[in-house]
Amino acid sequence: MVDFIKSAKKVLLGNKKKGYTLPTNNKLYPAQWNWDSGFIALGYSHFKLKYALDEIKTLIRGQWKDGMIPHILFHDLKTDYYPNHSVWACGNKIHSSGITQPPILAIITKLILDKNRINNKYKADFKKIVKGILKYHKWFIKFRDPNNSGLVSILHPWESGYDNSPLWDEPMSKVKIPKNLKYKRGDNKVVNPEYRPLDIDYDRYVTIKNHLRKNNYNPKKLYKTSLFNVVDVGFNSIFLRANKDLLKLLNTFNLKSKELESYISRSEKKIVKLFNQKKNTFFNIDLKNKKKINIPSITHYFILFADLEDKAFNNKIIKNLEKHSLKEKYLLPSVKSNHLKFEEKRYWRGPVWINCNWIIYQGLKNKNIKFANQIKRKTINLVKQKGFNEYYSCKTGKGFGASNFSWTAALFLDLMLENKND
């Protein structure tokens, strides 16, 4: 009989470096990724708390002076990955990218603290981490919501974490690609190009990235001038939940932030307005082009993770979620499978992602335990049947992308062991 818990631990330890963990053990992602590390830390917390703490501490050490925590930290500079540290040209104490990723650190930190008894030595470490996270969240509020609306923007599809989603097709189509654009991508040489973004999409990613660099990653300036500026439901749902958890963490360590309290209140009121009652669907806002984006993405259901108090609203969203994946053998497809933008194999355009399942499961637990447990059970069985892959077909369960994927192993561990101390 296969010991799946042992196998999951083996994946994490196999990808571990000094103080951080690679998303996978091949050349596809040879660095430390922001929200990957959050999920990875949660996995470690079930069997090696020190490794979990090291993962987060290393990420915090890469924090910029203004508060941003980058989406990539380049600890090893010898890599063929594109874009690498020299392409980003961010001269900080740890070489990094010039953009961020979904801010899950507060959520993960709270979960770790809730599930573990922390000695005095670790308490000091965690207090320092919480202070860093607060600085990070203040950066979001100041620079990604300068109008104090209650909703933050992303300035590059890569910041969303679900990079190649059809959510970005419309605003990306407005990005003009310069004739002299030169770069050499390597991702489609490591894995099947059928799984990866198209060249035209990568051209636009690089064009946006080049604009950010040209403006020296100035957050104040770029909010107004970036070639891409989108208010995303999923990202803001994560941020709202993260702010709520951060507030609880601050209380734990006798820290305070009135700014955070008032921002949570604004976000609660504003995020529900991204739902069209008549059409019974969510939409993103393309601020750059002043348009609404309506794509049936699984990330819209991250709003359940935000733990809104409106039960009637939550129940409506849950009914929609059931319809999103009604006909699929494997839950949850990243894009509704009957939509014209759906692609079974391509990165974020249809496949099942374990981190999305985990986020939605966490959001459902206190709202519809039966449905939550169904997602949990099917997620665990998918990994057991098909292995620790980056993502999976919702039709066949076949694994795509990288194998030995760290966050898949980490979140599998969390789902398997979440009640071990109860």
What would the two tokens of residue 134 be?
A: 């607060």
Mean pLDDT across 279-301: 97
CA distances from 60 to 33, 310, 327 (A): 12, 34, 42
Of 26 and 80, the structure prediction assigns the larger pLDDT to 26
pLDDT at 133 over 50: yes
% helix, strand, coil for the chain, step of 5: 50, 5, 40
Q: Which residues belong to the active site?
A: 163, 390
Rounded mean pLDDT, 177-183 = 96
> 276: closest CA among 297, 294, 291, 299?
294
Burial (CB count within 10 angstroms: exposed 0-12, middle 13-18, buried 19+), residue 66: middle
Percent of all residues in the chain with a pLDDT value above 90, rounded to a whole number? 92
* pLDDT tens per residue, range 311-335: 999 999 999 999 997 778 999 999 9
Judge contact between 393 and 336, C-beta under 8 A: no
d(CA 316, CA 177): 41
Check residue 1 and give its pLDDT: 65
Band (pLDDT 50/70/90 cuts) for residue 93 is: confident
Helix/strand/coil for 56: helix
CB 285 within 8 A of CB 292: yes
* Cβ atoms 20, 45 nearer than 8 A: no
Q: Where does the pLDDT of residue 421 fall: very low under 50, low under 70, confident under 90, or very high at 90 and above?
A: low
Q: Tell me, which fold does domain 4-417 have in CATH?
A: Glycosyltransferase (1.50.10)
pLDDT digits (tens, 9 = 90+) for 48-89: 999 999 999 999 999 999 999 999 999 999 888 899 999 999
Q: Are 80 and 11 in contact (CB under 8 A)?
A: no
190-242: per-residue pLDDT in tens? 999 999 999 999 999 999 999 999 999 999 999 999 999 999 999 999 999 99
- Domain locations along the chain: 4-417
State the greatest distance between any 2 C-alpha atoms of the chain, in Å, as a whole number.
Answer: 60
**Under a CB-based contact definition with an 8 Å cutoff, are residues 4 and 378 in contact?**
no
Give the per-residue pLDDT at 419: 79
- Please say whether the beta carbons of 358 and 379 come within 8 A: yes
Q: How far is CA 407 from CA 36, 347, 387, 390, 411, in A?
A: 6, 16, 12, 8, 6
Segment 231-261, tens digit of pLDDT:
999 999 999 999 999 999 999 999 989 899 9
Average pLDDT, integer, range 268-272: 97
Based on DSSP, count helices (H) and strands (E) in the chain, helices before strands: 17, 9
- Does the pLDDT value for residue 422 go beyond 70? no
**Closest among 97, 216, 220 to 163, alpha carbons compared:** 97
Torsion of CA 46, 248, 154, 331, to 10 degrees: 40
Instruction: Tell me the pLDDT tens digit for each residue of 3-21.
Output: 999 999 999 999 999 999 9
| Tens digit of each residue's pLDDT (9 = 90 or more) over 340-396 | 999 999 999 999 999 999 999 999 999 999 999 999 999 999 999 999 999 999 999
